[in-house]
């Protein structure tokens, strides 16, 4: 489901929405992984941004 741009509120920067392509693409680019890897991380670990960053670093070997 697409974001409803009429509902403006405080953004939840602590989460990465797996259902929003632009959020997944942005996170993938920022962390240096491909989109499918990020989607897999979200499926395995949920949408918490800190957890995803931690798991992404493990994948990249940092």
Running along the chain, 62 residues long, what does each successive block of 10 average in pLDDT? 62 84 94 95 95 93 74
In a domain, 2, yes or no: no
Q: State the residue range of the domain holding 33.
A: 21-60
Distance CA 40, CA 18 (A): 10
Containing 36, the helix (H) or strand (E) segment is helix 35-45
In a domain, 1, yes or no: no
pLDDT of residue 60: 84
In a domain, 10, yes or no: no
In a domain, 15, yes or no: no
Nearest to 15 by CA among 55, 56, 57, 51: 51
Q: By the 8 A CB rule, do 38 and 29 touch? A: no
pLDDT of residue 9: 59
pLDDT of residue 7: 63
Q: By the 8 A CB rule, do 60 and 33 touch? A: yes
């Amino acid at each position: 489901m697409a974001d409803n741009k009429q509902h403006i509120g405080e953004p939840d920067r602590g989460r990465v929405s797996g259902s929003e392509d632009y959020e997944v693409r942005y996170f993938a680019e920022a962390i240096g992984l491909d989109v499918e890897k990020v989607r897999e991380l979200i499926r395995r670990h949920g949408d918490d941004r800190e957890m995803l960053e931690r798991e992404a670093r493990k994948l990249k070997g940092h």
